[in-house]
């Protein structure tokens, strides 16, 4: 890849609103989850009931509750044996994670169940705050109540809460995409200080932990987790501002961040004590440059940023997007086994082709006969990373993009 032009435009942030936000920006084996346990589903929509489910212990105003250990999790990770080839991890993640009635949140929960996958949903805190309560939001360097992604209608806040609850019970992770999604001008997250990031994080936490007070909804069950414990990682709007976010994240004890733009397909390392898990440059079929592993960045290289390009191009663009993800997967799987990180939004750009590409690529990774593939959340990945010997991880990080150990894994990790 030396000398190759890499067009890895910044990722667009939370896009689970009715219109495009402004600005730029497998799994067989030990990681298959037990779908018959607490939180299992039968109707493709919500979590099923289980006689073994613990009684929830309400937290605060009852918006959240401690329901015990998260169900549908893999066994505790163990260190690689000497000479053992590492698994191929793939993390599908979603920025915003709001359900606006287009059915995309339940669609991908269903897909994950069908293939034993876990995902990470980076929730925008404002998606649980009614617009009538916007004065509760005080964004750094922006007017009170300001938001570049707007606010959801009450009906969509309800749908989002229902899907978040079901997703966690199914084994997925709930991270954060923060709140107002400011990517331009003096108020951009790019310029926020660590203290301002800390304020934004505290507000994102509060909007999740106090949705019942803010919405007045009394007929919905609480989110089944303590968000103070659940929240261990994030992705910033437009992939901006990570440098000043990291001190705040480390202070809070976060374990990872996925905000760095233009990462490579290599094994990750920590920055300031936090795992740095960036979106990655992937092969872009038909071009001599690579593209960032996110729907919006593929869109920019196909339709120039418009979300409604010529419909005649959709079939070819859909296939190109699918092959981008699949070729990135194969490049890692067949060589250095670096974890693959893919980011998306619940959107319908260019006729929904990027959602179709995610679905098709996940099916091919999970059902293509590839041993040792694990479709996991970021939380599950860092659990595995933290269980490994530091010297083994250092050896893995030495492998360049697309390079397998010259004498085989047994010799390389002996």
DSSP 324-353: HHHHHHHHHHTTT-PPEEEEEES--GGGGH
Helix (H) or strand (E) holding 394: helix 390-397
163-212 residue pLDDT tens: 999 999 999 999 999 999 999 999 999 999 999 999 999 999 999 999 99
In this prediction, residue 3 carries a pLDDT of 32
Residues 343 and 302: beta-carbon distance below 8 Å: no
CB proximity list for 414: less than 8 A, separation 6 or greater: 82, 83
Tokens 């094994």 identify what position? 267
Domains and CATH numbers, the chain: 6-14+23-37+85-412 (3.20.20.370)
In this prediction, residue 261 carries a pLDDT of 82
Sign of the four-CA dihedral 42, 44, 50, 52? positive
- Helix, strand or coil, per DSSP, at residue 366: helix
Give the C-alpha separation, 136 to 151, whole Å: 13
Q: Mind listing the pLDDT tens digit of every residue in the chain (414 residues)?
A: 333 333 444 444 333 333 332 223 332 222 333 333 333 333 344 443 333 456 889 999 999 999 999 999 999 999 999 999 999 999 999 999 999 999 999 999 999 999 999 999 999 999 999 999 999 999 999 999 999 999 999 999 999 999 999 999 999 999 999 999 999 999 999 999 999 999 999 999 999 999 999 999 999 999 999 999 999 999 999 999 999 999 999 999 999 999 998 799 999 999 999 999 999 999 999 999 999 999 999 999 999 989 999 999 999 999 999 999 999 999 999 999 999 999 999 999 999 999 999 999 999 999 989 999 999 999 999 999 999 999 999 999 999 999 999 999 999 999
């Amino acid at each position: 890849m030396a000398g190759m032009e890499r067009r890895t435009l910044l990722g667009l942030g939370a896009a689970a609103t009715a219109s495009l936000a402004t600005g730029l920006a497998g799994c067989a084996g030990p990681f298959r989850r037990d779908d018959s346990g607490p939180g299992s589903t039968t109707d493709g929509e919500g979590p099923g009931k289980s006689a073994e489910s613990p009684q929830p212990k309400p937290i605060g105003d009852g918006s959240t509750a401690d329901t015990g250990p998260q169900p549908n999790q893999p066994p505790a990770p163990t260190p690689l044996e000497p000479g053992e080839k590492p698994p191929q991890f793939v993390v599908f993640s979603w920025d915003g994670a709001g359900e606006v009635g287009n059915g995309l949140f339940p669609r991908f929960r269903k897909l994950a169940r069908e293939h034993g996958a876990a995902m990470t949903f980076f929730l925008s805190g404002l998606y649980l705050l009614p617009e009538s309560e916007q004065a509760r939001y005080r964004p750094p360097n922006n007017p009170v109540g300001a938001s570049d992604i707007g606010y959801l209608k009450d009906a969509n806040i309800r749908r989002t809460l229902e899907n978040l609850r079901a997703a966690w019970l199914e084994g997925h992770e709930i991270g954060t995409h923060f709140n107002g999604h400011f990517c331009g001008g003096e108020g951009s997250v790019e310029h926020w200080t660590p203290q301002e990031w800390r304020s934004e994080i505290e507000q994102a936490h509060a909007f999740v932990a106090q949705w019942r007070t803010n919405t007045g909804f009394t007929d919905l069950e609480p989110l089944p987790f303590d968000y103070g414990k659940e929240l261990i990682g994030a992705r910033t709007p437009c992939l901006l501002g990570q440098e000043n976010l990291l001190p705040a994240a480390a202070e809070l004890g976060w374990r990872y961040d996925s905000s760095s733009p233009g990462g490579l397909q290599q094994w990750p390392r920590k920055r300031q004590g936090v795992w740095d898990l960036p979106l990655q440059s992937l092969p872009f079929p038909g071009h001599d440059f690579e593209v960032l592993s996110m729907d919006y960045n593929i869109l920019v290289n196909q339709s120039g940023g418009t979300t409604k390009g010529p419909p005649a191009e959709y079939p070819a663009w859909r296939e190109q997007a699918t092959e981008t993800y699949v070729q990135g997967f194969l490049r890692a799987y067949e060589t250095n086994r670096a974890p693959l990180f893919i980011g998306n939004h619940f959107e319908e750009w260019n006729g929904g082709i990027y959602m179709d590409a995610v679905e098709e690529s996940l099916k091919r990774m999970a059902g293509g006969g590839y041993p040792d593939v694990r479709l996991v959340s970021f939380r599950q990945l860092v659990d595995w990373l933290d269980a490994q010997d530091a010297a083994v991880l250092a050896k893995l990080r030495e492998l360049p993009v697309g390079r397998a150990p010259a004498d085989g894994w047994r010799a390389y990790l002996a």
